[in-house]
Amino acid sequence: MNSRLVDMRQQLRDTWAHVLVVLVLAIIFAIALWSGYALGTGTFASPGTGLWPVLASSAGVVLSLLVLIHHTLSGKEKVIPSNELFSDVSWRKVLVFSASVTAFLILYSLIGFLLSATLLIFVLLKYAFEARWALSIIMSIVAPLLLYVIFTELLSVRL
């Protein structure tokens, strides 16, 4: 495809997935709006705790809805194919990242920083960044150990 066209499409990016992101943001703004109201808004002269979140989130809801309505009316998805956005993304790597970080957060309280960080770095290096075995093993031992020494000995942080 014409590279100029790809560049321009990248700039526009009004795809169904993009609209989904705006929709999620609209829902978050709506929840905040509701919570803000529940806290009490008061008046401008005597603002309640919820006034500021209500002001910010109501503007967010209105603008998100504007984007959604604009998208529905203009039908831009016909101009920009939606499958181009993530064509270069390896979802397996994103999954490996998410799973290994979750495992790290759970294991940290059970086996401590050094072991859990070693496992995390090894999995990330080998399966997300696709490094060689030897490099993955060496780095996953050396890097956590080095940072452990820096943080605990030099910066007095208990890891």
Partner 1 sequence: MEILDGLLSGLSVAFSPMNLLFVALGVTLGTVFGLLPGIGPTAAVALLLPLTFTMEPASGVIMLAGIYYGSMYGGRIPAILMRLPGDSSSVLTTLDGYPLTQQGRAGAALGITAIGSFLGGTVAIIGLTILAPTLARYASVFAPPELFLLMTFGLLMIVLIASGNVVKSIIMALFGILIATIGMDPITGTSRLTFGSYELSAGIGIIPLAIGLFGIGEVLNNMASGDNRRQSIGKMNGVMPTWADWVVSRMAILRASILGFFIGVLPGGGGTVSSVFAYGVEKKLSKNPEKFGKGAIDGLAATETADNASSNSAFVPLLTLGVPPNPVLALIFGALLLQNITPGPQLVNEHPDVFYGVIASMYIGNIILLLLNLPMIRVFVSILRIPQSLLGPLVILIAICGVYAVANSMFDVLLMMVFGLLGFILRRFAFDLTPLILGFILGPMLEVEWRRTMIMSGGSMDIFMERTGSLIILLLLLTTVLLVAFNAMKRRRSLMHRVRNIASEEM
Which residues within the stretch 46-105 sit at the binding site for partner 1 (CB under 8 A)?
46-47, 49-50, 52-53, 56-57, 59-60, 63-64, 66-67, 79, 85-86, 88-91, 93-94, 97-98, 101, 104-105
HSE of 57, CA atoms in CB hemisphere, 13 A: 19
Task: Report whether 26 contacts 60 (CB < 8 A).
Answer: yes
CB of 35 to partner 1, least distance (A): 5
CB of 111 to partner 1, least distance (A): 13
Q: Which of 77, 108 has the CB closer to partner 1?
A: 108
**CA gap 42, 6 in Å, rounded:** 50
SS3 155: coil
The answer to the question of residue 37 lying near partner 1 (CB under 8 A) is no
Which residues touch 100 (CB under 8 Å, ≥6 apart)? 119, 120, 123, 124, 127, 128
The answer to the question of residue 130 lying near partner 1 (CB under 8 A) is yes
Window 8-27: residues binding partner 1 (CB under 8 A): 8-13, 17-18, 21-22, 25
Window 131-150: residues binding partner 1 (CB under 8 A): 131, 135, 139, 143-144, 147, 150
Task: Report whether 129 contacts 96 (CB < 8 A).
Answer: no
Length of the chain counted residue by residue: 159
